[in-house]
Amino acid sequence: MNDKNDFADDDLVAALRDLRPRPVPALVIAALAQELDAPAASRGNIIAWFAGVTTAAAMVVVAFHLASPSPATPDFQLVRAEQGPTNLELLQPVRLDDGSFARPLRLHWENTTHWEDRRTQAHFINYRPVEQVALIPLETY
């Protein structure tokens, strides 16, 4: 650790500990008291107006939802699933941290699934290439 930074941190903590909040001005206290003492009727009118507007908006959304025809959800069925051939690649041996050797092995293949909605003749092809790397330990004597 750096002792110079430790002193700077201690000074900062001490300076923050010495901070004290300023007193609230009397003008702010008077304004808050006036707002809190406002008649409840005006606040009630605002709440009633807001509730009426939100109710009307909810009714419009529900009416729109009920009036619009719901689209048919697709009914995809699996047509074909394929897995391509696996490509194997052996790489040069490497030395590990413990001094032993291992040979990296890279495997690559492709998975593909074909889906179809018979009703709309829509096709969905899901192509997923897969690549994995593994280490095969080597014994050297």
Contact at 8 Å (CB) between 119 and 72?
yes
Rounded CA gap, 94 and 59, in Å? 69
The whole-number pLDDT of residue 87 equals: 92
Residue 51 pLDDT > 70, yes or no? yes
What is the mean predicted confidence (pLDDT) over 60-76? 74
What average pLDDT score do residues 124-132 get? 92
d(CA 136, CA 134): 7
pLDDT of res. 82? 93
Q: Residue 82, SS3?
A: strand
The model's confidence at residue 69, banded by pLDDT at 50, 70 and 90, is low
Query: What pTM was estimated for this model as a whole?
Result: 0.41
> Secondary structure of 88-110 in the HEC alphabet?
EEECCCEECCCCCEEEEEEEEEE
Greatest mean pLDDT among 10-24, 52-66, 89-103: 89-103
What's the token pair of residue 8?
């700077």
- Give the Cα separation of 28 and 115 in Å (integer): 67
Main-chain phi, psi angles of 83, to 5 degrees? -130, 120
Residue 111 pLDDT level (bands cut at 50, 70, 90): very high
What are 45's two structure tokens?
């009118």
Residue type, 29: I
Residue given tokens 């808050």 in the structure block: 32
